Amino acid sequence: MARITVLGGTGYAGAAVVAEAARRGHEVRAASRRAPEADQRVAGVAYLTGSATDPVFLESVVAENDVVVSALSPRGPMLGQVRVVDAELISWADRLGFRLGAILGAGSLLTEPGGPRLADLPSFPDAAKGEALEMAEVLADLQASPVGVDWFAVSPASGFGAFAPGATLGHYRVGGDVVLTDESGNSHISAGDLALAILDEVERPAHRRQRFTVAY
């Protein structure tokens, strides 16, 4: 059993990771700006309320963990702040020795080996570019981190999001830096199956200091 803290633990992706980690019997803490309603809480999970941009709160959250997962999204007031917080997490991981996981967007994935990123395509939504570019910077910061930092990063399928939730199917495919699509050219993964992939990585590390992607 591992002690796992999820930043952004009540968001779409983070809540799924929290639920899956608790289901597997890990000791789980979910940190977020607002506490969830009672009927949205997972039994056995400790919910911590505060801002990840508050250094005092962040320090208290990262203490005494085996794994810290950043499921923060650079939207609204967090645009431009997620990279800052994740850089602090890298520093804490270097000092404290916990494994650091980061959930990125799909925008930094390549369309083909050696090809452009999804975020660089003319068809990529302008409204999502700021978020995509910030998460690409988070990936670059992880790749440039001290060699002693044990990290992994996950980019979900390009169709991932609360707008297309889908059911948890209990399976997924794993790729590297190129977006995964099915035979029809679609790229999807549910939050539940993204969480499966993340907890599988936590329990059986296969991508140390690597980014990987998951899709059906």
Q: How far apart are CA 136 and CA 162, in angstroms?
A: 21
Q: Encode pLDDT of 102-125 as tens digits.
A: 999 999 999 999 999 999 999 999
The CATH homologous superfamily of the domain defined by 3-215: NAD(P)-binding Rossmann-like Domain (3.40.50.720)
At a CB cut-off of 8 Å and minimum separation 6, what does 195 contact?
Answer: 13, 16, 17, 19, 20, 21
What pTM value is reported for the model?
0.95
For the chain, domain boundaries: 3-215
Give exposure, 85-118, as e/b (b: 16+ Cβ within 10 Å). Answer: bbebbbebbbeeebbbbbbbbbbbbbeeeeeebb
Task: Provide the pLDDT confidence category of residue 55 given band limits of 50, 70 and 90.
Answer: very high
Average pLDDT over all residues of the chain: 96
Q: How far apart are CA 53 and CA 62, in angstroms?
A: 13
Q: What is the spatial order of strands in the sheet that 151-156 belongs to? A: 46-49, 27-32, 3-7, 67-70, 99-103, 151-156, 210-215, 173-175
Q: Encode pLDDT of 135-193 as tens digits.
A: 999 999 999 999 999 999 999 999 998 888 999 999 999 999 999 999 999 999 999 99
Q: How far apart are CA 78 and CA 65, in angstroms?
A: 24
Q: How far apart are CA 108 and CA 8, in angstroms?
A: 20
pLDDT score at 163: 87
